[in-house]
Amino acid sequence: MEQTVEQKLKALYELQTIHTKIDRIRQIRGELPMEVADLEDDVAQLETRINKIKAELDDLEDNIVTRKNLIKEAQANIKKYEGQLTDVKNNREYEAISKEIEIQGLDIQVSEKKIREFEYEIGNKTQVYDKAAADLESRKNDLDAKKAELGTITAETQKEEEELTSQAEQAKDHIEPRLLTAYTRLRQNAKNGLAVVTIQRDSCSGCFNQIPPQRQADIRQRKKIIVCEHCGRILVDEQIALEAETV
């Protein structure tokens, strides 16, 4: 049996009511899912940065060890060459060995300079590392708090949302495909998700523009589906809303 216009309007308003309840549940969750995702990205980026700094610090420590070993080798060579000075036979040998001692001494100075540079760089990078580690700890705490908050809200609302979603699917069965397509398109284009709205204070409750008295009278007669001239939403009279609330 074909539905009357009044039945179609009531079915549309019922579906809108269910979807509005679902929208409110999702609004309660608000921006939490996005905030959790953003914090997870922050944590991942900070962990990557910390690992990079840690690797750089390890390389600097290795360079210091290498330079200290070079200093020890140079000191050992100097000691060896100084011992050879007592056995030289001529000035040329003496000058050659003295030159080697001088070269080893210069190598020691270079290594000592490099060690100071590495230690200075370690100091700077350690400060950056400590700051990043503190930021990471803070972000992790924020992430844990947001996840807990989201988990609590989801647990509280998930069952209700599932029940409403099931009700919405059942309500769709009572709406002809053409109207359902138009309703879905209106919901997608409306910021507040309202495709079916009532008259309130002689105005469309979707866009708040005035509705002429004659058009209001036509809406109340429920003889045809009427949309708002300004926003395109489907209009129903206040009585349909009251009847829906008492069902």
pLDDT bucket at 245, cuts 50 / 70 / 90: low
Q: 129 and 16 in one domain?
A: no
d(Cα 181, Cα 238) in Å, to the nearest integer? 24
Q: 89 and 58 in one domain?
A: yes
pLDDT of residue 191 exceeding 90 = no
pLDDT of residue 246 exceeding 60 = no
CA separation (Å) from 58 to 63, 93, 138, 230? 9, 43, 25, 67
Decide if 170 is inside a domain. Answer: no
CA separation (Å) from 17 to 27, 156, 196, 219? 15, 20, 9, 19
Provide the CATH number for the domain around residue 13. 1.10.287.1490
Decide if 87 is inside a domain. Answer: yes
Q: 184 and 89 in one domain?
A: no
pLDDT bucket at 31, cuts 50 / 70 / 90: confident
Decide if 76 is inside a domain. Answer: yes
pLDDT of residue 1 exceeding 80 = no
Buried/exposed code over 147-166 (b: 16+ C-beta within 10 A; e: otherwise) = eeebeeeeeebeeeeeebee
Decide if 77 is inside a domain. Answer: yes
Decide if 163 is inside a domain. Answer: no
Q: Which of 157, 191, 208 is the last residue of a domain?
A: 157
Q: 43 and 10 in one domain?
A: no
pLDDT of residue 211 exceeding 60 = yes
Q: 12 and 95 in one domain?
A: no
Q: 17 and 69 in one domain?
A: no
Domain that holds residue 211: 5-27+176-246
Decide if 102 is inside a domain. Answer: yes
Token representation of residue 55 = 């690797």
**Cβ proximity of 10 and 135 under 8 Å:** no
Q: 101 and 191 in one domain?
A: no
Quick: pLDDT tens for 74-84: 999 999 999 99
pTM of the model: 0.61
Q: 51 and 23 in one domain?
A: no
Q: How confident is the model at residue 73, as a pLDDT?
A: 97
Decide if 241 is inside a domain. Answer: yes
Q: How confident is the model at residue 41, as a pLDDT?
A: 97
CA R_g for the chain: 40
Q: How confident is the model at residue 225, as a pLDDT?
A: 94
Decide if 225 is inside a domain. Answer: yes
Q: 72 and 53 in one domain?
A: yes
Domain count, the chain: 2
Q: Which of 112, 129, 157 is the last residue of a domain?
A: 157
Q: 146 and 60 in one domain?
A: yes
